Amino acid sequence: MIQAKNLNKIYKIKMKKHIWNRSEIQYKEAVHDISMDIEKGKIVGLLGVNGAGKTTTIKMLSTMISPSSGTIHVDDIDAVKFPFHAKKIINLITGGERNIYWRLSARENLEYFGSLYGLTKTELKKRIDYCLSIVNLTKNADIPVEKYSKGMKQRLQIARGLINNPSYIFLDEPTLGIDILMAKELREYIKRITVEENKGVLLTTHYIAEADELCNYIYVINNGKIVSEGTANDLKKLYTSNYCLNFIFDCYNKSLFDDIAKLENIIKIELNPELHSIKLISKENLIKKIIQLSSNYKCNINQIKTEDSLEASLMQILKVGNSHA
């Protein structure tokens, strides 16, 4: 199990107005008193807006940066004092296209990264074949990465993160930039290896549905602090003062959609003219008002769906967090 206790991270930033000015030192607290557990066989989510402290937390847990204070234990290894021991059993998968060598092929990249983890030639071959097959890159394994699409590069990142068969995997927005089919396959794979291969997973994502589907436990982080934690259902129950509504109309009426969008107390709204649908999160139950509006415009409602949305809960959590900050 990974146990992080009372993690703090304060960055020292040197600021210079001009090259001839003296540096001004500023301190920025990126993470404040974070404690979390990541058990084997479980997927733990770390959710928060940009700049909340997710990446700093994940970099500390993956031993890439040292915490200013606090402890991290990875299977009884003190990862702050002995990061090289911990590095052998962890890996990090980040979103985006960097972090791999574009001039090398996928196989050459994996051979290189596998060697950095001390894998022998035979182990490497087996592991590379396995990782490439998981991300569906076997056929393109010998093409230089610079010729890959964005999604293929992201899939290679995932293969790279699995090359040392880590006991704990940190996934920093792993589905960023990959298509929905691949993202779905990847989610299924994450679920499968977590259970079947008993791996501990920490996932950060902007896709709330992804966290809702995958995570056994979720930490919500804001301004460097954990503002809430629990299972997805716990969070939904705790913070369901918001309403999540889905309407499908029999036609698209621009004026109707505009009027609905102008209603008060809407936190977030998604209009889809092609599907004649509206999805919204609001502070009050707007069903009556929307039915009234649709009848004014003589537009029938085919379907109304209400749901406990993790997204709605998350927005509520962050709103509460910000008001306390």
Partner 1 sequence: MKPVFLTAKAVTLKNRIITNRAYPLSSFTERVVGSIFSIIFPVFIYYFIFNCHISESFTKHANTMDYLTYIVLGQSVNIIAVSTLMSVGRCMITEIREGTLDNFLLSPASRIGYFLGSYVEQFLRSMLEFSLVLLVGITLGARIPAEKVPIIALFIIFMSLVCFCMAILISTIMVFTKDTYITQNTFFLLIDFICGVLFPVECLPHWLQYISQLMPLTSALKAFRNCILGNQSLQDNWILLAYSSIISIVFLAIGYCYFRKFEKKLIENIYV
Give the residues lining the site for partner 1 (CB under 8 A): 11, 13, 28, 55-56, 59, 62-66, 84-85, 87-88, 91-92, 94, 98-101, 103-104, 108, 111-113, 115-118, 120, 144, 160, 164
Work out how close the CB of 166 gets to partner 1 at its nearest, in angstroms, rounded to a whole number. Answer: 10
Work out how close the CB of 134 gets to partner 1 at its nearest, in angstroms, rounded to a whole number. Answer: 18
DSSP string, 51-89: TSSHHHHHHHHTTSS--SEEEEEETTEETTT-HHHHHTT
Let me know: does 40 contact 103? Beta carbons within 8 Å: no
Q: Which of 164/228 has CB closer to partner 1? A: 164
Work out how close the CB of 19 gets to partner 1 at its nearest, in angstroms, rounded to a whole number. Answer: 13
Work out how close the CB of 103 gets to partner 1 at its nearest, in angstroms, rounded to a whole number. Answer: 5
Work out how close the CB of 145 gets to partner 1 at its nearest, in angstroms, rounded to a whole number. Answer: 11
Q: Which two tokens stand for residue 76?
A: 């009884």
Task: For residue 41, give the 3-state DSSP assignment.
Answer: coil
Work out how close the CB of 165 gets to partner 1 at its nearest, in angstroms, rounded to a whole number. Answer: 13
Let me know: does 243 contact 286? Beta carbons within 8 Å: yes
Q: Which of 100/215 has CB closer to partner 1? A: 100
Task: Identify the residue whose tokens are 């999805």.
Answer: 279
Beta bridge partners of 55: none
Report the chain's terminal Cα–Cα distance, integer Å.
31
Q: Which of 57/253 has CB closer to partner 1? A: 57
Let me know: does 80 contact 8? Beta carbons within 8 Å: no
Cα–Cα distance, 147 to 167 (Å, whole number): 32
Q: Which of 107/236 has CB closer to partner 1? A: 107
- Return all residues near 28 (Cβ < 8 A) that are at least 6 apart: 10, 11, 13
9 HSE (CA, 13 A, CB side):
27
Work out how close the CB of 167 gets to partner 1 at its nearest, in angstroms, rounded to a whole number. Answer: 14
Q: Which of 64/304 has CB closer to partner 1? A: 64
Let me know: does 311 contact 214? Beta carbons within 8 Å: no
Q: Which of 66/71 has CB closer to partner 1? A: 66
Q: Which of 113/249 has CB closer to partner 1? A: 113
